[in-house]
Amino acid sequence: MHTLTLAGIAQALAHKCFSAEELTRALLQRISQLDPQLNSFITLSEEQALHQARAADARRAAGEQGLLLGAPLAHKDLFCTRGIRTSCASRMLDNFIAPYDATVVEKLNAAGTVCLGKLNMDEFAMGSASESSYYGPTRNPWDTGRVPGGSSGGSAAAVAARLIPAATGTDTGGSIRQPAALTGLTGLKPTYGRVSRWGMIAYASSLDQGGPIARTAEDCALLLGAMAGFDPRDSTCVDQPVDNYLEALDQPLAGLRIGLPREYFGSGLDSRMADTVMTAVDVLKSLGASIRDISLPSLEHAIPAYYVIAPAEASSNLSRYDGVRFGYRCDSPTDLDDLYLRSRAEGFGAEVRRRIMVGTYALSAGYYDAYYLKAQRIRRLIRDDFVRAFAEVDLILGPTTPGPAWKLGEKNADPVAAYLEDLYTITANLAGIPGLSMPAGFIDGLPVGVQLLAPYFQEARLLNAAHQYQQVTDWHQQAPAGF
């Protein structure tokens, strides 16, 4: 059962090959046996999962036939889940039990999914390796001495190891697409505002976006159809009809124009990764797509702009964690200042403290114009680059990451080296456009992915191109040894 994709599970449940409860019990047992090697889960919600599975079986027995009815998954541990700990992988929220469900969780529950638990991540989603978690690093199932990427590394590791067929993630600068690439999965960052952020603990509010991580584009289409839609509780959520993503999957790619930015192929890209991209180009051309050279001239400014804007927003969002209202509180504070200082110093990890300090500095008097305002102007230039590019092409193709997964701890002493891993993904967040990473090969036995970017609200086109690619390749079918 664990080898089935989400779409395969939907078909098996519809044909009564097994029940949702049987599937849930099998996966819970598999998680208990194999996850100690990976540390992908923070919390297992066994009692709730079995309750939801029985409810899904009852709904099927009554004649309901929803595609996600009884389908198991797990949530990145920054989606609030009522009655279950939502920690954001931080000591600060280690004791926080959410009193409500995030909109994404609410929608997936309504569709009949079964939540097996909450997944490990970089603390407050700040990182590219899932090493900054208070609960310890997550390991890549393809090589447990390497990172799975981040910040949605727990989601990616659990899906890649076939512990669950799919998971939710969030993407602030590539945190769905990058771990998907490094673990051989398909990951989708929707357009900003396509999926509600209500109940999703914020890192950088103008960049964060929830989305699915699964093995195939078809599975991502299934999940996005349930997750997307207008939510009046989220002021950044866009009131626009949700496409039928499944219906669009089988459209031919004849006539599709794909742009290849020349800036993607600079000195920072592993030559083997460049070869992987060009191999994917050949496959897409064989399916009827045409390839055009394009330019994204503001790409070189993306990382400095992102690492001013994101920490600035983080410093504002995380100011609420003060030891007074909820979350971690230090022992025996001597006064209010001591309560604030020690609660935050003890409750936040090193990477979170680093980004708060950078963001607070960038927003401080005398530096706002020099840093934050200038970064926002660069953000607009990046957005304009994409608008011009999409006047010529339908999609943009490139590498998701500069190379394969690196060893655990390899970049801990040099945060900038880790930040550079986001080079190809952060522009989509700065511009707010949708992006998808799909498996495209191996380097030194480790999976790598290529990325597709699309104009605003063109997720259906992304999923269509990825699905057609996956019909003639088998990278998405590969599984790590031992899992």
245-273 tens-digit pLDDT:
999 999 999 999 999 999 999 888 999 99
* 338 in a structural domain: no
Catalytic residue among 175, 196, 298, 437: 175
3-state secondary structure of 257: strand
The verdict on whether omega for the bond into residue 437 sits within 30 degrees of 0, i.e. cis, is no
Distances (CA, A) of 421 to 174, 269, 363: 9, 10, 25
Instruction: Give φ, ψ of 482 to 5 degrees.
Output: 90, -5
Q: How many domains does the chain have?
A: 1
Q: Using alpha carbons, select from 229, 109, 220, 110 the residue that is nearest to residue 167.
A: 220
Instruction: Name the amino acid, one letter, at 479.
Output: A
Q: What is the pLDDT of residue 326?
A: 87
pLDDT cut 90: percent of the chain above it: 95
Place of tokens 């456009």: 433
Distances (CA, A) of 454 to 396, 457, 461, 483: 7, 8, 7, 34
Handedness of CA 228, 302, 201, 135 (dihedral sign): positive
Q: Which domain holds residue 85?
A: 6-253+437-449+460-477
Active site residue 76: yes
Query: Using only C-alpha atoms, what is the Rg of the chain?
Result: 21
* 401 in a structural domain: no
Active site residue 152: no
Active site residue 151: yes
* 402 in a structural domain: no
| CATH code (residue 126) | 3.90.1300.10
* 293 in a structural domain: no
* 130 in a structural domain: yes
Q: What is the pLDDT of residue 268?
A: 83
* 94 in a structural domain: yes
Catalytic residue among 40, 132, 151, 155: 151
* 268 in a structural domain: no
How far apart (Å, rounded) are the C-alpha atoms in residues 404 and 424?
14
* 203 in a structural domain: yes
Q: What is the pLDDT of residue 267?
A: 80
Catalytic residue among 76, 107, 189, 411: 76
The contacts of residue 331 (CB under 8 Å, 6+ apart) are: none
Q: Using alpha carbons, select from 13, 476, 466 the residue that is nearest to residue 221.
A: 466
pTM of model > 0.95:
yes
Q: What is the pLDDT of residue 307?
A: 93
Contact 344, 321 (CB under 8 A): yes
Q: pLDDT of 130-140, one tens digit each?
A: 999 999 999 99
